[in-house]
Structure 1
Amino acid sequence: MNRKNESFQAHAPSRRQFLKTASAASLAAWPIGSTTAKAASKSERLRFALIGCGGNGTRTSPVGKEFADLVALCDVDEGHLQRGNELLCDGKADLYSDYQQILQRDDIDMVQISTPDHWHTKILVEAMLAGKDAYCEKPLTLTIDEGKLIRKVQKETGRVVQVGTQQRSSFDKFNKALAIIAEGRLGTLKKVTVRINAGSWSPEIPLADVPSGLDWDRWLGPAPKADYRYLKTPNDRWYTNGHTQFRWWYQYSGGKLTDWGAHHIDIGLLGIAAAGLNDQPVSINGTAAHDVKFVDGIPQQDDRYNTAREFDLTVRFAGGDVEMNIRHDGDRGILFEGDQGRIFVNRGKLVGKPVEDLAHDPLPDDAIAKIYRGMPMEGNDRPAHWANLIHCINTRQLPIANVHSHMRSLHVCHLAGICCRLGREIRWDPDAERVIGDELADSMLARPYRPGYEIQM
């Protein structure tokens, strides 16, 4: 099974019916390059809240403000909250330290979830159950089983969720690369090499006082109880198990494999599907290097970064027609190799002879639009990604980066992490969504939530 002909699911109208049916119909008919929902009248604009006012939240929400009104902010760090209010809302937003108070508000249509990864699933599930649509940063989940729950709740509630993999809305590079593949310009696709750079290293990080204004227990949330650690070196480098650096700890994230992997592995799998091949993984094997010792997949030190720093992994797919190599070295991006040509794409370039050949043999006019599933194409990258979200909220379609297709990609990222932690091949049943013949590896598809921070169903 592949995603080339993935259908779209229509849902019941949204709770507040913020746009009339005629307006939604006109948005559904936007031609490429038309005016987006950001031009809608003030009374028609959505109202949204930002949950998590750290780095990525403050980078992404200004784009969202082009399309909707940001009215509330939430963070467990008072400094982040106040800084976000001044930066994003001229000091006029409603401020919260508890996101559940936002979910109780009937006048908020959607939420942007920009917390650390280990909080994504709990907030998103509860937001959907509260009747909110959402934009959630990648990676959507900390585990594969969390993704199963998200998909289930999305189907049951019909909420629209856009995952923050904005490379899916890059028309000039990533979607053009996918169109080249779909049009057969590489011949038969044989290999995909995904390079996502090495993970971060740290020295021993000592215990430290929790910064003033940070509610550390609530920052940890569903993750295991842990002491706060912080180190700043004489050359102004800093290391911590908290803000920004959380992604280098398996307790809160998955390292490079779910950081850049959620972007580039995603595009690699979309390329396999665009080629008409089976994109369901059946095995992952290879080598990895960590800076701490592991026993049964559990790091044995808690004073330094513990996610994989180096890796060379091979993913095989049902059907056996193509393989994927995931590496830490080389130029970050995706190399697609077919029996008639090859192309390389990242955020800065799209190169290869099939790209050069477009000068005298261009793609069909609708080739890129087909990759974007015939939905309106406005702007590029983040603006286009938000425009697609608003369009899909209006029409109740699945967005370009919906939870179902994203989790198919994230399965590879998470299974790669399990492979690295255990140091052995992982065999996967894509239909049952279970690990084959490895009870320990299968148990790593889920993690317990800390008491008091379970998902409220």
Structure 2
Amino acid sequence: MPQTSRRDFLKTTTLAAAGTSLPFWFSTNTAMAQASSSPNERLTVGCIGTGSRWNAVGPAAFKFANCVAVADVDANHAEAGKKKVQDIHKKDGRPTQVDVYEDYQKILDRDDIDIVTIVTPDHWHSKIAIEAMQAGKDVYCEKPLTLTIHEGKQIIKVLEETNRVFQVGTQQRTEMGQRFLTAIAMIRDGRIGDVKKVTCNIGGSSDSGAIPVADVPQGLNWEKWLGQAPLVDFRFKPGGRWGNSRCHYEFRWWYEYSGGKMTDWGAHHVDIAQWAIDQNGPGQGPVSVEPIMSVHPVPFVDGMPQMDDRYNAATAFDVKVIFKNGVEMHIVNNSPDGNGILFEGTKGRFHVSRSRIKGKPYEDLEENPLPEDAIAQVYGGKQPTSHMQNFFDCVQSREKPISDVWTHHSAMTTCHLANIAIRLDQTLEWDTESQNVTNNSTAQQMQQREQRKGYEINVPV
């Protein structure tokens, strides 16, 4: 299908979706038809960021679209990404021409690219996503979507202005054996009565010890990798999963680039918990965030780390969050049930993780199963699919994906507030209507960050 015809098709389905209610099976059929179409009829995707996580995200997207370009500030990642695309395309008899860029803007400038995947360090997500939507691309972006609360407001503003389709990579909403969907369906069906307390065990961040200054690896544009963050020395020492460093996988443990486990796993479990207790819509969310306990590997003054040679995100914490509907949530790094979510209600309790659900309310499903359509109703009236298929379904139908920006921003607001609270060691009060901290001026300022010149996100909200 010529590019103009494909774009005309998308435009037509956008108008149709705006004027009618599509049956639940429409989007699934269209995406599967797209996946099985001839190579030249598929949508095209450009991949921004081709590091470790992309090795799962990229191939999942290639089931539905042809990749024509990759971009990464690490030339080694970019070349490896190109080879992976070519290997996959070659097996399917698809075109193997893949352009390689250091600058992601070159992907956004191409009119022949319909969709972008963004699998970069967290501090790059918002700027690239905003510019991609402004360039007319639909977006699949890994979690956590934002570095700050303010960035979430900026993304929502641009999304509403551009009407793009945007899926966040929180795969627990779709996959993991549908355990989390089952958990939400149990709560909706009243299996534990009224939910009173939720505990999200997300684990703690790593403690690296001192990391020495090191030479920048060949092929890595360190200045570009830093982006909006302050210009600092590259640091590295052997250890950890990829070596203790300021870069690549280990960026997660630095507040300059991410939010530690609070945003890394909080983006999954806090998201599911707020979905389950109906606290991720407009005017909903936390009203207070209290740091019961926290441990950081470095000292903090006014919320800022005082050492720059080691990881600084919290290694241990217990944050108490009270939501507008009165439900109490604890975000912890450790609990007796292990990683996952514990729901406690007036009629019982159960724990859900990626590997299992345990508790009497779940055991009772054997004799008293959920209604036949219970999980589909949680999933917006549709039958659950893969996370990537849901995205491509929605690219065709122009419906809202299962992991939408609005609910993700709500969950990330809770996680960002929890991080601000433990960095300041102060209880924060939050106004769900104005979306602002009301009792602490320093915390108000920490809702956004100064961005290095040349890397600003220029979207007033």
**Normalised TM-score (structure 2):** 0.90
From 116, 119, 122, give the equivalent of 1:114: 119
From 382, 402, 409, give the equivalent of 1:375: 382
Q: Check whether the contact 1:38–1:66 (CA below 8 A) recurs between aligned residues.
A: no
Instruction: Specify the SS of the correspondent of 2:53.
Output: helix
Instruction: Specify the SS of the correspondent of 1:312.
Output: strand
From 440, 443, 452, give the equivalent of 1:441: 443
Matched, 1:363 2:363: no
Q: Count residues with an aligned counterpart.
A: 438
Alignment of structure 1 residues 17-416 onto 2, 5 Å: 17-18=9-10, 21=13, 28-29=22-23, 31=25, 37-40=31-34, 41-42=37-38, 43-90=40-87, 92-170=97-175, 172-232=178-238, 238-273=243-278, 279-285=284-290, 286-320=292-326, 322-330=327-335, 331-378=338-385, 384-416=386-418
Instruction: Specify the SS of the correspondent of 1:244.
Output: helix
- Aligned in 2, Cα 1:115/1:339: closer, same or farther, shift over 3 Å? same
The one-letter code of the counterpart of 1:357 is D
The one-letter code of the counterpart of 1:359 is E
CA distance in 2, matches of 1:165, 1:263: 6
The one-letter code of the counterpart of 2:420 is I
Unaligned regions of 5+ residues in structure 2, if any? 88-95
Give the drift of 1:313.
0.9
CA distance in 2, matches of 1:431, 1:53: 38
CA distance in 2, matches of 1:237, 1:77: 15
Q: Check whether the contact 1:72–1:93 (CA below 8 A) recurs between aligned residues.
A: yes
Q: Check whether the contact 1:435–1:441 (CA below 8 A) recurs between aligned residues.
A: yes
Name 2:91's counterpart in structure 1.
none
Give the drift of 1:84.
1.2
- Aligned in 2, Cα 1:92/1:301: closer, same or farther, shift over 3 Å? same
CA distance in 2, matches of 1:38, 1:75: 30
Give the drift of 1:29.
3.5
Name 2:426's counterpart in structure 1.
424
The one-letter code of the counterpart of 1:146 is E
Give the drift of 1:393.
1.4
CA distance in 1, matches of 2:226, 2:280: 42
Q: Percent identity?
A: 48
CA distance in 1, matches of 2:381, 2:275: 16
Give the drift of 1:291.
0.7
Unaligned regions of 5+ residues in structure 1, if any? 1-12, 379-383
Instruction: Specify the SS of the correspondent of 1:17.
Output: helix
Name 1:10's counterpart in structure 2.
none
The one-letter code of the counterpart of 1:444 is M
CA distance in 1, matches of 2:264, 2:233: 24
- Aligned in 2, Cα 1:325/1:106: closer, same or farther, shift over 3 Å? same
The one-letter code of the counterpart of 2:82 is N
CA distance in 2, matches of 1:44, 1:406: 32
Instruction: Specify the SS of the correspondent of 1:139.
Output: coil
Please identify runs of 4+ aligned residues in structure 1 that moved more than 4 A. Answer: 13-16, 18-22, 24-28, 32-36
**Normalised TM-score (structure 1):** 0.90
CA distance in 1, matches of 2:166, 2:6: 13
